[in-house]
Structures are given as C-alpha cells and as structure tokens.
Structure 1
Amino acid sequence: MLEFYDQPNKIKLNYVNNKGKNSGTLYTPDFFVIKENTAGWVEWKNEDDLLILSKKQPWKYIRDDKGNWRCPPGEEFAKELGLEFQVCTNSIINWNLHRNFVFLDDYLRKGKDLEINISILDEIRQVIFQNPGISLKQLINHSNDCTFSADDVYVSIINSDIYVDLKESALAEPDSIKVFLHKEHEEMYINLISCEKDLPSPLKISFDIGTKILWDNYIWTLINIGDNNVSLSSEDKYNEVSRELFDKLVREGKIIGQKKEDLNDPLIDLITEASEEDYKKANYRLKHVKKYIKFGSKEFTTKDEPNLRKVRDWVGKYRKAENLFGNGYVGLLPKDKDKGNKQDRFSSEVMKLMNEHIQNEYESIVQKNVAQVYGAFKNKCEEKGYIAPSSVTFYSYIKKRPIEEQVKKRKGTRAGYQKKTFYWELNRTTPRHGDFPFNICHLDHTELDIELVCSSTGKSLGRPYLSLMIDAFSRKVIAFYLSFEPPSYRSCLMVFRDCVRRYNRLPQQLFVDNGKEFHSIYFETLLAMYEKELIWRPAAKPRYGSVLERLFGTTNTNFINNLQGNTQIMKNVREVTKSVNPKNHAIWNLYELSSALDHYFFELYETIDHPALGGTPREAFKMGLFYSGERKDFYIPYDTLFEILTLPSTRNGEVTIQRSGVKINYIYYWHDDFKILHSNKTKVKVRFDPFNIGIAYAYVNKKWVKCISEYYSVFKNITEKELKFITSEIKKTKHNHVKSFSLNAQKISKFITESENNVQFKLLKTRADETNNLIQYRNKEFDTSNSNITTSNNFNTEESMESNSEEHYLDLYEEF
C-alpha cells in the first residue's frame, strides 16, 4: 500500500431495486487506497452487520461461492474507471497480531528511542544461531547465564534485529512462539523440519555500561552490571554496590541519568502549565484519537462524534508530540495561551533607556508625574533616533515594577510599608485476565467489617474503608489504602501513589465500576497523562469485577472476621446486647490494621496457592515479569513532581497573585517569589494538599514552589474534608447563607480553635489525624526532597487577614 484516503468523494451506485426498476444512489465508501499495481475503494463492515444488510439490501451486498463479501454496484462503477471496489470485514483482522501489539505497547510507544547495546544484541543472536527454532521462553531462560534480559529481546523484535512471526503466535505464550535471526532463517528452519523428522539440538531510566549516572551529586561511570553487583567509577574513586541496592536507589529516584545542562524539561512545562479545562479537553481529544487510530474514520459518521477534520488534526498533533517529546498526550493540550506575539517589540537599547528613566526619574523622592517622565523619555528617544513606545506601553512597564520598592523610593519607608506583603508564622510550638503483570488491574473500595479505636484515647472511631488495586494476571495485590473516609477521588489518588511507590509503574488498563469517584477529572487526567487506558465496567455487570470482589470476600472472611472487634454479629442487630457490641470490644487502630493488612496482602495472601493459577500470586507475578520484561526503561519515578501531579487544584486551575498571596478555598497562601509578581496580578497554576490545607503549591518561574497558609499553626494537618465540614457549619449558623455573609480564613480558624465541644468535628478531626499519621509513616520510607521545590521561610508573627481584595465565594466541593 502506497497511500490511502478515508471518506473519499461520493460515487454513484446503479442497481435494480426490489420492484425491478433501475435506480441509483450516491454513496461514500470508507477508503480510497492506492497500491503498487492497482487502486480503488475499500469498504469495511462488521461481519454481523453485513448479514443483516444483505437481507435488507440484497442488491448492494452479496456473498460469493468462496465466502467473500462483494458489492456488485460498486464493482461496476470501479470497473468503468479501471479500478477496484473491495468489501472487507472484521473476520479478516488478525486478532493474534492485535494481541501482540498490546503486549508490546510500552515498547512501541518508545519507538525509535529504544536502542540496544551491540554486544548484547550479538549475544542474543548467537544464542538463536546456535539453537535453531528456539522458543521465546527458552531464549529468555538463557538470560540467567547471559547479560541480556527479556526487555532486550523485545526491543530487538521491535527494531527487527531478530524475527518472530507476530501473526501466527502470541508473545504472551513464550513456549509456543519461535525466534529466528530473520524471516529467511525461519523459512530455512521450516524446510529442515519438513525434510527431517528429528532435528538434533545444539531501566523511563536506562543504564548501559559506559554511561554516566548522577548519584548523591556526583557523576559516576558504569563499569560493569552483574547479577549480584554493580561497579562504578568517578574520577579516581571506585565503588561497588549490590544489584539489589542499586535497583532500590533507581526506583527511589536517588540514581538518575547523567545530569542535563537544562533542568527545565519541556514535557514537564507543558503538563504543569495546563489548566483543569486544558486537561479536560486533552482527555476528550485523546479518547477520539485512540478511537481513530484503532478504527479509522468510520467511527466518526454520527452527529455525536466531533468533526472528522478536527480529529485528523488532533491525530497529527498527537504524533508530532510523540516525535518531539516521546509523549503524544501533551500535543493534545490546548495552545490558546501561546497565541499572539510574546516577544518585546522594541530594541534592547530602547528597553534599557526606558528602565533608566523609570528607575532614576519616576522612582525618586522628587515624585515627578508619569507624563513628565514619559515626555523626557520620548525626547531622548528622538534625540538618539529610536522609535519610542507609546505612553500606554510606558505606563504598563511602570506598573510591572515592584510596588513596595516603588512607593518607598517616591514616598519613603512608612508609605512603602502600606504596600508591604504579609507573612505568616511557620511553627506553633482474560487470557487469564491479561497477558502479563500490570496489563489489566482492577480498583475498587469496600467497608471492612471491623470497629477501630483511636490510637491515643482508645475511643471508638467506627469502621474503615479499604481501597484495593489488584493485578488480574497474577491475582497479586498491587496497592491499597485504608482510611475512615468513604470512597472519594482522594482514595483513588492515594492508591496510585502507593502503586508507583511500590513498583514505579501504573497499570496498562484499569478496570473500575461507575462510582462517581472514578469520574473525577483528576482521576482521568493522571491516567491519560501516562497514556494508561481507563475502562468502566458495564452497569449491572458485577462479574467484570469478580476478581476483586472475591478478594474483598476472602479478606473479610479469612482475616478481618478473626480479629477482635469484627462486626459479624451486627448482621442480626436485634440480638446484639451491650456486652457483645463490637464497639465495646474494639482494640485495633488504623495504623495497626494497615500494618496487619500489609503483612496479610504481601506476605501471606500472595504466598498461598491460588486455584486459578496453579501456583501462588507471588510466583505468577515474578514469572510474568521475567518473561514479559521488567520494563524498567518505562519506570515512573516516585518523586515530588509525581506527588504534585496527584494533588487537586481549584475549579479554574489557576489563581491571581494578590498582595496577600494566592487564595485557595477561602485561605491565602504565601511564598517569597510572590513579592515581585503580585503588583502585576499574575495568574499561576496551583495545587493544594487535601490532607493538609496548611500548604499548597504554585507554579512560578518554571518551577513548583511550596506555599504556606495564613494561620499555618491552626491549619496545619487540617484536611479538605474537615474544611468542608467547617464551612458548612459556619454557614448554618448564619441563617442559611445570608447574602451579606462571607467566609474567610479568620472565621475558619476561629471555628477550629473554639470547636472543643463540637462532637461531630472532634470525631472527624480524630479520624483525619489517624489517617494523616498513617500517611506520614509510609512517606518516611521514601525521600522525595531532592526535587527543586522551594519553600518560603521568611515569616513574621500571625496577622489577621481581613482583606479588601476580591473574595472568592466557592461552593462546597461535591464528593467525586
């Protein structure tokens, strides 16, 4: 095939209708295809649809003696022009080839960036040469005694350095697929077999020997990577570490590739500068781009779909971004903010002259008015032969200057103090459910049948919720999250964090039910950003999640129901007396139960034989990774950037920097970088921590900065859920939202300090504290402080933040 065009011009089909009369109709085929020796139209249909259409329109579609579908009117039209008309169905699609493409998806996305060391490739080819007809499984088994890995084998297949027939066999069944040096080698082997009955037998982070790495601020050269140890050198130094420790440091992001001169990754800039609306648009576009790539233009013929021309444009941007950044998703982000000419229209000499007049003439104790200063500047430009900017431009540059310094120079320090910014106090005293691990995972939540108590007071806190992600291939638990909060977007994001923390990967396909927490913009955005497929289970089809439902049942039956404080007896609540009520016998707290579940999932459950596997989940997972490849080149580092990307934002995704900082959910946040930006009313992207509203993040000057809230000592470790409760309670006391009433941080802070007698808030606060303590314990094992996130540390005493600036009246967020 040389070229193809979808949705070509209409053609006229002449036929004899059911009444025996000659008739004609205009028709648009799916494709016009140009090949080396012929050309013509191609129509694609579903086999089942053709069976129905052949009865309704027997003049249009028929099946010949050979079982091929034909369109006689189309063939007649094409014949007159010396062309062809062909009807194809889904029955001719090679689903085995499709299955292999899914298996190789990670490698295919990397494309031309995947390279293999020539010595490793020679080693692979030598094994194949010495063992004609070797199976993929046997070849990978040789890696135990060689330097190559399964990943190297699959990269070699992608690059056509070795040959397998992807149309006939499945890579997911390595014992049944043969590997050859090239196609001719395969043909030779087949010929030998036919003549002879018995043939005698004879790291998203990549590291290669000789490459540079950055470890503990030193650049090292990799000398050797063995099975047990890794050797490194740096100038006159030599070091050797265990392979286990080396891999651990890589996963934690403490060892990275050679440090680049430019630390500003354009991919990160494109992602972090996008707004929530940008993400929403990109998610929508990605869905249709994938549909177009998979099915072609025939899926875009209904009114419900976007314009076909738009979809083609999106596909072009997607592929262009893949070539530029290795990630097609960023190409689908809207570029509205980049429109227009952002370059200075004036020469550097004019800009220098303008700045001199503003600093020396306008910002002085003489207090010249702006018109006088502009007149002097314009005269100077004419004297030097420059084209002077307009007065409007001149005034706008004055407004961009730091307001505090400007007023201080013109009116003195006391007047400048009125424009001084505020600071706050920091401290207060299928094929087996997938073909390989991470191919298909399931995520869901359940309320556990056990009553928990506070770790400090021993008082009852109620039943916890368990969020669980399981790998369908191995039935191994991938990640979990335990809290007192009902399922929400926060539960989902914490499971994602746990998954990346443990394995530096996310599932290729994630199956979820239709709970509203799974329809959060941030839930979809995170998966789309890493090009992972989200699949919602069909409504009223519980079997789609049967793997996870069975594990929930097993966990409750075999583990939870054997713990003191379990709620089995509550199934017959009328028979429950005070002496046997689980609330009176509860002894487990959230941290203890989480630790016990960690041991149960990762030490007990996965080491017990599973009837569907013929072994244990741990063995199936380990063996699956060995034969499908560990795919370390595609690892997701668990670092501060990943943590920030999992945080939510405001409804608009960005806020304006004011004199008091940035305002998020009634509260101002501050960082020292805002000093020179607030006078310009600059808008920045923001993220807030739903588990600690005392901090937030803003994207300033191409980097994320950590911002501290006003009343930090009060808001520290207060959760988003607590904030929603507080704002709701305050509004209730003000006669059902009186219009003249507005919320601010001072009123929220006052409620918190005076809430000792509020039983509901005390319970909510205690539950939140238990959850935060659990999160902090887990985070202690992973250090993400090596990221370029800066924190403001210049704080004075707490000040009341009653501000005359614009109030942001935000509705209470719904539960996602």
Structure 2
Amino acid sequence: MLDTDALALLLSNGAIPEAGRRLLANVRARDASKLARSITGCIEYVNSQKMGWTVAVPGRTVGAPLAELLELDASVLEYYFQPWELELHVQTVDRPKGATRLIHRPQLALIRRDGIVVQDWKEEGLLFRRSEDAKSYAKDDSPPYHWHWRPGETAYEALGFRYELHSLAEIPLVLVANMRDLSRYAGMAPMPGERKAQLRAVIEREVVLTLRQLREGYQFDADTIRLAIAQRVLWCNLVHCRLDSDETFRVFRDPVAMAVCGSADPVRDSLPLPRQGNVIPGAMIQFNGESHWIECIHGESVRLRGAGDTEHVLPLAVVAHAALPRSIVAADGSVHPAIREQLALLPPTVLDEGIAKLNAVREGRSIRSKRQIARYQAIVVASGTDTEAAIRLAGNVRLRGNRSPRLTEAVEILAKKMIVRLYHRSPNVTAHGCYLRYKGVALRLHQEPISYPSFLCRVREYRNLTQKHGARAALVMTPIDGRLDPGLSPHGLLPHQCVHIDHTPADVETIAPAHGLPLGRPLVTLAHDACTKRSRALYLSYGPASAECVLMVLRDYVRRWGRLPQTIIVDGGLNLRGAAVMRFAQLHGITIRKRAKHNPRQGAPIETRNRSREWEVDRLLEGSTSHMKEARAYNGYPSPKDVAEETLLSVYRRYDAYFFNLKDAKHEHPELGMTPKAYEEALERERGTQPFRPVAFDEHLLMLTSPFASRAKHVIQPLRGVWVDYRWYWHDAFADAKKHDSGLVRVEPFNADVVYVEYHGQMLVAIARDVSSVPNRMHFQVEQAIRQMRKESGAKAQRSRHEYHEEGDGMSLDARHFDPCIAFQQQEMLRLYSTLAMVARVDWPSHTVQRPEACDVEMSNILPDAQRAPDAQEAAGHDAVAAHDASAAPTAPASTASTGPTAPKPKPKPIGAWPAQAEEHLALRSVDLKLIKGMA
C-alpha cells in the first residue's frame, strides 16, 4: 500500500479536491476484510499481496476474477470493493425540469498511478436494456467499445475522479483460469539447462505443437511444459486458449510464429439447431470488434464462441441486435439499413412467400385476384431493388392480428392483488379458494371476473414459493435452473483446487470401549475435493462445531497429502471463518469462499457425500440414529444409546475405509465414468502434479493449526507470563517483555498445560506455571473442570460467612471437578489422534514441540471390529497414549515461580479406573448441594 507521503503526492498531482480526499480517507480507514453491504451471492476472502491483508471480494464470477487481474496490474496501487455510497442528482425524462436523487454504490475504487478511478461492472444485457430506455447510457461505435453513463461521469469528474462503466463480457475469464493453473509454478527454480535445451530444440524444429503432441510424441511431462510456459521458454496465447484443452492449446516457437499460426481459426461444425429470428446457430457476427460464432441458443440466452476458447453468454436481444445484416460478415451493403432489419426479422417461410409473389409478378402469372396482382405490381414498381420488393410483398407479419389486451388494466390489478395478498398468505390457501374470493370481490366492484384457467395463468406468473411455503420448502419445489455459464467452474479444474469443508453430526451413538458409558454422537468434519470427487481429510470430535475442527481437518489434510488446497469453500457458519482459520489461510495464501445464502445446492459435492455416508455406513451400525429423523416411523424403543456398540476408534476406521478406500478407489462415480482416484491420476498426467500449496507435516504446522484462545490477543507480563483461561503460562522470552506487549495466543487442544504465543515474529511454546495435579488433559476438559471448580468456589464463599475454616483450606483442581463423560470423550480423541501422529509432543525442558513421528498410520480392518471384545478395542490405542503421556509429562526439575514452570504432582492412575472416581465425584456434588440448601 501507499504511505501517507506517496498518497499526498498522488492526490496533489491529480488536483483532487477536498471532498474527494475525504472519500478516499474514509475508504482507506475501513476494514477491507469485510464488505460494506451484505450480498446474497458468494463472498471470497482473498489474500492480497498488494493490499497487505485479506480482502473481502463480492462474487465468485465477478469480484474474484477482478481481484486477481488487479493484483497482476502494475498500474493499480490499491483497490477497494464497495467503497462508498454517493448521492447523485440525475435528470430524467419523467422530470425534465427537476432532478432525481440517486444513491450510487460503485463496485470498485482504484488508486492508479495516473489518478483515481471508480468502476462499475454490469451485465451486457442490463446495459443494453438501459440504453434503450434512457439516453444517459451509451456504447461506443468504435474501439474500444466502452459503455458510458453520463451522470456518473459528470458527478465523479467534480470530485477529481474518473468514472468507468464496464460490461462483464470484458473480463478475460480464460486468462484468469490459466493464471490460476500457472500459479502453482510461481517462485520455482529455473528449468534445468539440459531439459530446456531439449524442449527448445523440439519447438525450433516443429514451430507449433499442441500439448498432447508434446506429451505423447516427445515425452515431455505436463509439469515441464507448464513450467516452460510460466518461465517464457515457450510462447502461447493465454488470453484466448485454455491450458486444460490438450487438443486445442498450442505452443509456438516465438512471437512471430504465434502471430502467423495462431491467427488461423479451425473450421467449426455447427449442429442444425433451430433459429430464433435472425439469431442463427453457426452464423458469425461482430461483437465488440471481434468475430464470434453463434454456438447455441438456450431460452433467452445465446452462447458465442470467439477466438480460441473464449466464450460469452449474452441475452437474446443483444445478440439479435448485433446479428442484424449490417454486422453479418457476408451482408449486402447496398440494402437500406431499415430494410436490413426487416429482412433479419422475417421468418424464412414468410420470405419465401414474398419471393414467390415477386416471381409471379415478373413472369405475369395470376396467383391472386386481379386487384391483388395490381397491388403487387405497384409495390414492385415502387421498390428500388428486388430485395426490397420481396420484403414488402412478404408483409409485416409481426403486426398481424389483434394485439390489444382483452382484459382491462383494473381487472389485471385486482387479480394480482388477490394472488399476492391472499394466495401467498398460507400454504393451506389453494388456487381455487383464492379464485372464489377474487370472484366475489370482483362482482362487488362491478367487474367481470376472469375465467378460472386465466386466473391459474396469473397464479403461475405471480407465484412466490418462498413467501408461501418458506425458503426450505421453496428450494425443493424450485427446479434446478439449467443455464449457460461460460465462466469459471465452481468446482475447479485441478485436484486440490476447490475443497469443501463442512460439519455434520454422525448418525450413530458411541460408547466408551471398556465400560460402555454412552459418549454421544461424534461430530464429523469432512474435506471434499469438488473437482475429483475425492474425500481429502476427516476429523471426528465430541462437542459443538468450532474453528478447532476446521484447523484439525486441515492438519489431517497435510498429513495425508503433504499440501493444502488453493480455495476452501464453506457455508455461512461463523466457526468455518473464525479468526484462527482466517489467520491460517492468510499465512498459507488460501482463498476462503463463503457460499451464497439460502442456496445449499452450491455445497452439493460435500452434502451428497455426507448423505451417502449416512445411508451406506451409519444405517448399518448398531446404535444408528437415522431412523429418529422420521418421527412417525419411530416408536421410541429401543433407544440407540441402549444398543450402541461403536467406539470413536471403530467409527473412525469405518469412515476412513469408506471415504478413502471404498468410494475413492472402488466405486465408479456416475459423473466421471471411472473411480475418483483414476480420474485424478488422469488429470495429473494431463495437467501436472505440482501442488498449489506444498506444506510439510511438522511441528510448525501443529502449532499453526491450533485454535486461538477465547480471546486471541493477550498482554504479556515479564514476571508472570501470559494469562489464558484462568491460568498463567510462561516462557523464558517473556522475561524481557515491555509494558503493554501482547501476542496472539493459541491453545494446544490435546494438552491443557501448553499454549503457543506469537510474540515478536516467533511462535513460542509456553507452559503452565501451575501444572495441574491431573496432567495430560485436553484443553476443553480442563476448561470445563475450571468452570466447575469456580462454581464450587462461589458456593464455598457463600458458606464461609457462617462457617469456620482452617488456614489453607482452599480450592484446587482435582479429579472430582472433571465430568466423567467428557473425560472418556477426550480420552478417546487423544488415543485416536495419538495413533495418527496428529498430537503435538512437547519437550518441556526446552519449551519446543517435537516433530511428529509418523505421517500415515495404517488403520486395521473394520470387518472383524464388531466381533472384537471391548478390552481388545481399548488395547489398540494404549501404546500410543502411553507414548504421548511419556512425552507430554514434564521431566525437568521444579523451578521457582519467577523463572519457569513448577514441577508436577505424581501422575494419576490410568483413566480406565475412573468409574469409582466418577461415583465419588457425583457423591461430593450431592453433598455440596445439600449444604447449599441447608444454608439457604
């Protein structure tokens, strides 16, 4: 970003007045990571190198491509989406003597090297309709074919800004897709000289080759070819040709060869599709100064294909206007412009009739009455050319028939009011009942009511399913909108490019392995690749959905694949976009995309996978809760908790085998025609294996994937350390802290005695000064226990007013404060993820986190799991838990409170002996309740 002096110099050179400077100051002081106005579409959170922080971008198909192009534009210094709201006074036709007040909300404000630019980006069809209705909108008739909005240009000129109105058709989507592909190779080392010489020798000899010819004919892998393109060893057209098209994408020897050979466009074969007016599939028209082929017509949309792989989807009216004979390449220039439009709008059959009449007049044949033939002869004599005569003889079929409405405007207004106010009031109101009420009102107003079939047509026209049935029911009733989309694929074109992450409760009850204590339904957090249809990572936990689940599933993602995705797609849940998740995404350059509101179909890839998991796994297990969703089909007995047999470890093994073995490598996907694993291997052969975000699974990742504390930023005190969740944590670097020094604090979810502090650009491992008498507990478990202890402390403080207490009789955290169910839940999670090497092992004397011992642990077969004894199931993870306890337990000698952590108390008994402690805990709580009641 610009500093204050550079910005002041830029504003002075541009002679920006004070009003314009205030607008810029306000928008630069605003938080760019949030939008100023709420939208219903997608929101992408992009990590901007130019802005220096995360930028909220409105729209997947508009804002996101613009942000990527602005990042690459060297003339743009800063950019801001939704910068301000400005009141404009616009003169309209309705008020020629006055002005209409208009609140203008521009989409972009750019600080460029040559001044301040305000931009609006609209659809081509919308601009075309506005240009027909208002004179303030106009488009250039010559290059560069820009749109203009006169009131906006005048108003912003007074502020010293330049206003630009652009069409969405101007966004080079092919270039954006190619740049996303080539971003994998940014920052890589130069290509080896020997390989580069081999590639140049081939292209010097052949001049031009396709990607497939280079791969299959000359044995160059896709990564080598793309690296050569990124480093400009090969020349190609990235603006018009897509890199994912092996057959059509061509590379050239030099710019001259690209200019000569790249201009030849292959012959396009068009299907015999029906035409609409003068819009003929297969015809070539001129749009924005470039030749485009009309590929197909879908409803009111037309798809145009330009040079290379460029596509545009425009409204039918825009294409019909561009396809008038004056813009068709082979049009006859001698015909009058008014006749051209009539010729274009005539159906072929009607034009054939006009030609037949012209031939009859020329040959003197009698095909009509004498009076009609005389009229035909007069038309031919008055026409200048045969084309004009044929058009006039055909007649204007568009004006034939009675075009006046049969019903009056008052009748139409009354019918609309009854439908909007009565039919949409409740789902129980039928169309027939609404019609009877309408008929009675119309008769009282002395109007002739319309017929019931006509009323049904109005009901379908004004129907609002959301208002009548609600958003959820309306989504089911609304058919899936099939429309032409030339833009960027929402699922991505490469593996690990677009990954969905979502939470859902498992539909099966779990128990403790040795004692059968019900532990509840675990929460399933899944990462699913939208492009290859492969599941990427899995995390099971107890408790509500949180940012910790998202970070842990990303930890598992790196453990399995050694990389991170380019884009993470989430729904509207705030935990999916928590501060820790956004910080992790910013550090690794990940884009987070929030799906559109009220449209769960955008998350179809992961929602479908979760639904299939419920039907193909959960419903087959003892303790399944799927049948409880159908209340009328469930009699209440037996309860899933009474018949549950699954543990967290067994459920994880079943899900792991289902997601990463059965659905991944054995089941053929109906859309792909092969297994997702085979499809990904084919994509890697064609498009390369270079990852988007390569990340090592090491101790740094374990710390970065730990969630923030309840309050992210904490003050560091040089004598006591940092206070986090009612406990002090210490690191030797805190001794040099100055007043008001602070840092971002992350908690280790699997060890409550450890936190990670981002302090002075370093990640420090701070250890609790008051190490608990029950160490090796998870953070959530200790947090709940501290709440219980503080609750009992409050009750004890109330009793102390009436009772005598000896000196030193205080509260301390012990086993009775821990809930037995939470204890078993945390024990199961600790056992599972210690086996998977996802738990940080802290070296207490050195205050460091050790590197994970293993990245992939092969899980045992799930088939004999139902026959295994509970003791055998529990023993499967005892070794991993013992190893974690040995590494997590402090071994350093006790230190003073001013220099480091204190020595822990002796290690308690294994958690398998806790049922007796749980009974003691419940008994103590009941005694406390009796004492409190007695004091009351």
TM-score scaled by length of structure 2: 0.50
Report the Cα distance in structure 2 between the residues aligned to 1:452 and 1:16, rounded to whole angstroms. 69
Q: Which amino acid aligns with 1:151?
A: D
Name which of 113, 116, 120 aligns with 2:195: 120
Deviation at 1:96? 1.6
Relative to 1, partners in 2 of residues 1:686 and 1:740: Cα closer, same or farther, differing over 3 Å? Answer: farther
Relative to 1, partners in 2 of residues 1:606 and 1:73: Cα closer, same or farther, differing over 3 Å? Answer: closer
Larger Rg: 2
1:663-704 residue CA offsets vs partner (Å, 9 max, x unmatched):
321112334555x54798965554321232122234568654
Deviation at 1:150? 2.5
Name which of 699, 705, 724 aligns with 1:646: 705
Report the Cα distance in structure 2 between the residues aligned to 1:154 and 1:738, rounded to whole angstroms. 71
| Mapped contact 1:107–1:114 kept (Cα < 8 A) | no
| Mapped contact 1:4–1:32 kept (Cα < 8 A) | yes
Relative to 1, partners in 2 of residues 1:707 and 1:184: Cα closer, same or farther, differing over 3 Å? Answer: same
Aligned pair 1:107/2:185, yes or no?
yes
Name which of 682, 696, 699 aligns with 1:637: 696
Task: Name structure 1 gaps, 5 residues minimum.
Answer: 78-83, 196-429, 804-816
Name which of 113, 130, 135 aligns with 2:210: 135
Report the Cα distance in structure 2 between the residues aligned to 1:107 and 1:523, rounded to whole angstroms. 25
Q: What is the aligned partner in structure 1 of residue 581 from structure 2? A: 523
Report the Cα distance in structure 2 between the residues aligned to 1:119 and 1:784, rounded to whole angstroms. 46
Name which of 626, 638, 641 aligns with 2:685: 626
3-state SS of paired residue (2:250): coil
1:615-639 residue CA offsets vs partner (Å, 9 max, x unmatched):
1111122222333322258411122
Report the Cα distance in structure 1 between the residues aligned to 2:684 and 2:596, rounded to whole angstroms. 30
Relative to 1, partners in 2 of residues 1:41 and 1:779: Cα closer, same or farther, differing over 3 Å? Answer: closer
Report the Cα distance in structure 2 between the residues aligned to 1:605 and 1:788, rounded to whole angstroms. 44
After TM superposition, the structure 1 = structure 2 runs for residues 206-285 of structure 1, keeping only pairs within 5 Å, are none
Name which of 800, 812, 816 aligns with 1:750: 812
1:21-57 residue CA offsets vs partner (Å, 9 max, x unmatched):
89999x999899999xxx9999764235534653564
Deviation at 1:462? 1.8
1:82-101 residue CA offsets vs partner (Å, 9 max, x unmatched):
xx998642223322222222
Aligned pair 1:177/2:249, yes or no?
yes
3-state SS of paired residue (2:496): coil
Name which of 481, 484, 491 aligns with 1:433: 491
Report the Cα distance in structure 2 between the residues aligned to 1:565 and 1:594, rounded to whole angstroms. 15
After TM superposition, the structure 1 = structure 2 runs for residues 651-800 of structure 1, keeping only pairs within 5 Å, are 651-672=711-732, 676-677=735-736, 686-698=745-757, 703-712=762-771, 714-733=773-792, 750-755=812-817, 761-779=819-837, 790=848, 794-796=892-894
Report the Cα distance in structure 1 between the residues aligned to 2:137 and 2:795, rounded to whole angstroms. 67
After TM superposition, the structure 1 = structure 2 runs for residues 255-654 of structure 1, keeping only pairs within 5 Å, are 431=489, 433-571=491-629, 580-607=638-665, 608-632=667-691, 634-650=693-709, 651-654=711-714
Q: Which amino acid aligns with 1:591?
A: L
Name which of 34, 50, 54 aligns with 2:131: 54
Aligned pair 1:160/2:235, yes or no?
no
3-state SS of paired residue (1:469): strand
Report the Cα distance in structure 2 between the residues aligned to 1:40 and 1:517, rounded to whole angstroms. 37
| Mapped contact 2:748–2:754 kept (Cα < 8 A) | yes
Deviation at 1:473? 0.3
Deviation at 1:119? 1.5
Relative to 1, partners in 2 of residues 1:167 and 1:737: Cα closer, same or farther, differing over 3 Å? Answer: farther
Count, aligned residues? 540
| Mapped contact 1:451–1:460 kept (Cα < 8 A) | yes
Deviation at 1:784? 10
1:192-226 residue CA offsets vs partner (Å, 9 max, x unmatched):
9999xxxxxxxxxxxxxxxxxxxxxxxxxxxxxxx
Report the Cα distance in structure 2 between the residues aligned to 1:747 and 1:481, rounded to whole angstroms. 43
Q: Which amino acid aligns with 2:192?
A: N
Report the Cα distance in structure 2 between the residues aligned to 1:656 and 1:41, rounded to whole angstroms. 44
Q: What is the aligned partner in structure 2 of residue 399 from structure 1? A: none
Q: Which amino acid aligns with 2:193?
A: I
3-state SS of paired residue (2:728): strand
3-state SS of paired residue (1:690): coil
Higher relative contact order (CA 8 A, sep 6+): 1
| Mapped contact 1:441–1:470 kept (Cα < 8 A) | yes
1:491-548 residue CA offsets vs partner (Å, 9 max, x unmatched):
1110010111112222211111111211311111111221211111122111011111
Relative to 1, partners in 2 of residues 1:546 and 1:658: Cα closer, same or farther, differing over 3 Å? Answer: same
RMSD, aligned α-carbons: 4.9
| Mapped contact 2:707–2:748 kept (Cα < 8 A) | yes
| Mapped contact 1:715–1:749 kept (Cα < 8 A) | no
3-state SS of paired residue (1:179): strand
After TM superposition, the structure 1 = structure 2 runs for residues 189-204 of structure 1, keeping only pairs within 5 Å, are 189=261
Relative to 1, partners in 2 of residues 1:736 and 1:471: Cα closer, same or farther, differing over 3 Å? Answer: farther
Q: What is the aligned partner in structure 1 of residue 168 from structure 2? A: 90
3-state SS of paired residue (1:473): coil
| Mapped contact 1:726–1:748 kept (Cα < 8 A) | no
Q: Which amino acid aligns with 2:127?
A: L
TM-score scaled by length of structure 1: 0.57
Report the Cα distance in structure 1 between the residues aligned to 2:263 and 2:180, rounded to whole angstroms. 31
Q: What is the aligned partner in structure 1 of residue 258 from structure 2? A: 186
| Mapped contact 1:436–1:624 kept (Cα < 8 A) | yes
Deviation at 1:714? 3.2
| Mapped contact 1:17–1:23 kept (Cα < 8 A) | no
Report the Cα distance in structure 2 between the residues aligned to 1:673 and 1:41, rounded to whole angstroms. 48
Report the Cα distance in structure 2 between the residues aligned to 1:636 and 1:714, rounded to whole angstroms. 37
